[in-house]
């Protein structure tokens, strides 16, 4: 896939928390989200394919089936195991999980997509505290892991975005819910098309129209001057992750333009085609790299079929929405 902004739609056994903290954090679970906890038998979950919850197409009507991913812990014959992680924000440790096959065995053969064999997306249920990271695979056990500490309490969605090495499926996105104990401060998902990330002003333009492919363009400026030093990151000049507010389902986002040339730079604009299956609110996260540092700008965009989206200002730090 070619891109001036290529996208990798990327994104604790469930953490045991004190009952009170758990109850507070559980309030952040989006309506309609897959809130499956730790399964007693991961192999059985993989072999069953998740039943009614195993394939996201069983949860959507025909108009959405081609556009949604990341609403189930199992799909396409693969399942995401329970996710091990620190129990609270005060506890540094490790986040770890496995991808299981239909036979209940850990998958160890992954194809490279956007320069990585797996992309991990983690976001709180209110859309805040977004992270896009790349864990390391232990090929002897099939365990993916990386050092981890939570930035805030709440209920999180963890997404594994991967392609099996045997070519049985492409761009599989599986998800789990993780609860993190601690004092919770929810962040409302208010519409915004602009963000300040460090000293960079990032904005997004274009109409997001339900039921059709829409072109959105992200622009980056520094000190009122357009930025032309965007560096290739994971084989592209920018990546956009799009989630539907409410169930946090993935959307199809298609990059536009040509592949970056080795050592080349670009900017200030990066364009994407986004397929929004329904009217509603969408959470958008744009990753870009300048001077070797990756930053994330976050936007919240509303859409109505055939209507122009509206927006207001919003906090765009990498830890915010």
pLDDT attached to residue 69: 85
Residue 78 tokens, joined: 């693969």
pLDDT attached to residue 306: 54
Helix (H, G, I), strand (E, B) or coil at 24: helix
Beta bridge partners of 157: 123, 177
Beta bridge partners of 296: 287
E strand or H helix at 47, and its extent?
helix 42-48
Do 27 and 173 reside in the same domain of the chain?
Answer: yes
pLDDT attached to residue 259: 85
CA–CA distance, 266 with 287 (Å, rounded to integer) = 14
Measure CA 141 to chain center.
25
CATH assignment at residue 78: 2.60.40.10
CA–CA distance, 169 with 146 (Å, rounded to integer) = 25
Q: What is the 3-state secondary structure (H, E, C) of 93-118?
A: EEEEEEEECCCCCECCCECCECCECC
Q: What is the pTM of this model?
A: 0.77
The residue assigned the tokens 């401060």 is: 185
Do 169 and 230 reside in the same domain of the chain?
Answer: no
For residue 121, give its domain range. Answer: 19-180
pLDDT attached to residue 61: 47
Half-sphere exposure of 50 (CA within 13 A, CB side): 27
Are 214 and 306 in contact by the 8 Å Cβ rule? The answer is no
pLDDT attached to residue 129: 96
Are 305 and 211 in contact by the 8 Å Cβ rule? The answer is yes
Do 235 and 152 reside in the same domain of the chain?
Answer: no
Do 130 and 198 reside in the same domain of the chain?
Answer: no
> Rg of the chain over CA atoms, in angstroms?
19
Q: How many domains does the chain have?
A: 2
Q: Which residues contact 147 (CB under 8 A, 6 or more apart)?
A: 92, 93, 94
pLDDT attached to residue 250: 83
DSSP state of 260: P
Do 279 and 169 reside in the same domain of the chain?
Answer: no
CA–CA distance, 284 with 296 (Å, rounded to integer) = 10
- Whether 229 is in a domain gets the answer yes
Do 155 and 31 reside in the same domain of the chain?
Answer: yes
pLDDT attached to residue 102: 87
- Whether 2 is in a domain gets the answer no
Do 210 and 160 reside in the same domain of the chain?
Answer: no
Omega of the bond prior to 268 within 30 degrees of 0, cis? Answer: yes
Do 24 and 166 reside in the same domain of the chain?
Answer: yes
Do 23 and 172 reside in the same domain of the chain?
Answer: yes
Do 39 and 108 reside in the same domain of the chain?
Answer: yes
pLDDT attached to residue 305: 57
For the chain (length 321 residues), average pLDDT per consecutive 10?
A: 39 32 38 34 40 33 56 95 96 97 95 94 96 97 98 96 93 96 89 97 96 94 95 90 93 83 92 91 96 97 62 41 60
Mark which of 180, 212, 241 sits at the end of a domain: 180
Do 148 and 46 reside in the same domain of the chain?
Answer: yes
Do 134 and 260 reside in the same domain of the chain?
Answer: no
Mark which of 157, 180, 203 sits at the end of a domain: 180
pLDDT attached to residue 253: 83
Give which of 203, 223, 207 is closest to 215, Cα–Cα: 207
């Amino acid at each position: 896939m070619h891109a001036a902004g290529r996208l990798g739609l990327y994104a604790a056994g469930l953490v045991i928390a004190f009952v009170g903290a758990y109850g507070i954090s559980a309030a952040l679970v989006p309506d309609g989200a897959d809130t499956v906890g730790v399964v007693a038998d991961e192999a059985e979950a993989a072999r069953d394919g998740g039943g009614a919850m195993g394939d996201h197409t069983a949860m959507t009507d025909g108009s959405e089936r081609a556009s949604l991913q990341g609403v189930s812990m199992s799909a396409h014959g693969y399942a995401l195991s329970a996710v091990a992680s620190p129990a609270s924000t005060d506890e540094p440790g490790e986040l770890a999980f496995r991808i299981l096959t239909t036979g209940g065995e850990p998958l160890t053969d992954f194809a490279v997509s956007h320069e990585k064999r797996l992309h991990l997306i983690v976001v709180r249920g209110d859309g805040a505290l977004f992270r896009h990271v790349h864990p390391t695979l232990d090929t002897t056990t099939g365990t993916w892991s990386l050092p981890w500490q939570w930035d805030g309490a709440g209920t999180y969605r963890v997404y594994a975005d991967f392609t099996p090495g045997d070519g049985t499926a492409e761009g599989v996105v599986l998800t789990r819910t993780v609860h993190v104990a601690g004092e919770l401060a929810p962040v409302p998902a208010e519409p915004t098309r602009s963000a300040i990330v460090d000293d960079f002003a990032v904005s997004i333009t274009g109409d997001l129209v339900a039921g059709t492919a829409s072109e959105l363009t992200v622009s980056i400026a520094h000190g009122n001057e357009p930025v032309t030093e965007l560096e290739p990151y994971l084989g592209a000049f920018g990546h956009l992750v799009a989630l539907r507010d409410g169930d946090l389902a993935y959307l199809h986002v298609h990059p536009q333009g040509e592949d970056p040339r080795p050592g080349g730079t670009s900017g200030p604009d990066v364009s994407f085609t986004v397929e929004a299956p329904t009217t509603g609110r969408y959470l958008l996260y744009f990753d870009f790299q300048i001077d070797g540092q990756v930053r994330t700008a976050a936007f919240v965009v509303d859409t109505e079929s055939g209507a122009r989206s509206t927006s207001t200002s919003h906090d765009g730090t990498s830890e915010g929405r």
